[in-house]
Amino acid sequence: MRCNEQEIFQPKKTIVTRAFSQATQLLDKLSALGIDPIPLPTIEIQAPSDGGKELRESIQNLEDYDWVILTSANGVEMFLQEVSDISVLERTQIAAIGLGTKQALKEYGLETDLIPNDYVAEGLLEVFPDFQEEGRILLPRGAKGRDVLPETLREAGWIVDVIPTYQTCIPEKFDPFDNQTIGADSIIFTSASTVENFVKMYGLENMPPNLISIGPITTKSIHSLDLHVALEADPHTIQGIIDCLQVQFEKLR
């Protein structure tokens, strides 16, 4: 476990921007550390704009693919909800980016054939096998996924079908938030969307002073706003965030 720390701080009141449906584990772990967590979801997981039509069509042809690449736990959930017979995936190799994605697959009884050491698209590209003749890849993912993975695989010769499985949106209903009143000293961002949506919903003036990032892609989004990252988790997981916060407390003793 490594923590890319920019400074030492003591989080006391921390905002969690994950979707309500995903935040329970993180909220509980923060509370166990003695941190007062504030749930303030800035994303909502919704079906893709076509209602899942393209996803269902691709699932009907799963036997045509040599690999299925899943990039997030959200992608796993939305993808497998549409698969009526999970056993069909036993004949296809599965790659996962991140331990959370691997665990989500395991909960459905599916093993992962390939997972990179570095839990980003670039990490998977480093370990992905060489092109095989007429090789096809199904990449079901969020609608706002980065293009580096499919584009690089196509350059290597693979046929890659990118299928939107969900979209992350600003919650339809959310309460006003004034950090001058709340007094949060830190905030946890778990994706680029959580960063972008917080600013759209509440403005930079309500950003707490200490920003905690789950990984480099989220950090890049923070830096694009000329904001400073106090802590970046490595590995880039929820547990990685908790472990790094634990290190912070130990250094302050």
**For position 5, what pLDDT does the model report?**
62
**How would you classify the pairing of strands 2-5 and 231-234?**
antiparallel
pLDDT value at 8 more than 80 = no
Residue 167 dihedral angles phi and psi, to the nearest 5°:
-135, 145
pLDDT value at 6 more than 80 = no
**For position 98, what pLDDT does the model report?**
85
**For position 189, what pLDDT does the model report?**
97
**For position 248, what pLDDT does the model report?**
83
Strands of the sheet containing 231-234, edge to edge, are 2-5, 231-234, 210-213, 186-189, 13-16, 36-39
**For position 127, what pLDDT does the model report?**
94
Locate all alpha helices (DSSP H) within the chain, ordered by sequence: 24-32, 53-59, 73-80, 99-107, 121-127, 148-155, 179-182, 192-202, 216-223, 238-252
Q: What is the pLDDT of residues 34-71, one digit of tens each?
A: 999 999 999 999 999 999 999 999 999 999 999 999 99
Give the whole-angstrom CA distance, residue 100 versus residue 102.
5
Q: What is the pLDDT of residues 221-249, one digit of tens each?
A: 999 999 999 999 988 889 999 999 998 88
* Average of per-residue pLDDT across 94-100: 91
Give the whole-angstrom CA distance, residue 165 versus residue 10.
38
Is the separation of the CB atoms in 9 and 239 below 8 Å?
A: no
Instruction: Say which residue, 21 or 44, is predicted with more confidence.
Output: 44
Q: Which tokens belong to 77? A: 């959930």
Q: Which domains are seen in the chain, by residue range?
A: 2-43+171-252 (3.40.50.10090), 46-169 (3.40.50.10090)
Of 46, 4, 45, 55, which Cα lies nearest the Cα of 211? Answer: 4
**For position 1, what pLDDT does the model report?**
47
**For position 229, what pLDDT does the model report?**
94
pLDDT value at 7 more than 70 = no
In terms of average pLDDT, the best of 88-102, 108-122, 124-138, 175-189 is 175-189
Q: What is the DSSP string of 184-216?
A: --EEEE-SHHHHHHHHHHH-GGG--SEEEESSH
Q: What is the pLDDT of residues 207-216, one digit of tens each?
A: 999 999 999 9
Q: Which of 92-101, 135-144, 242-251 has the lowest mean pLDDT?
A: 242-251
**Prediction pTM value:** 0.84
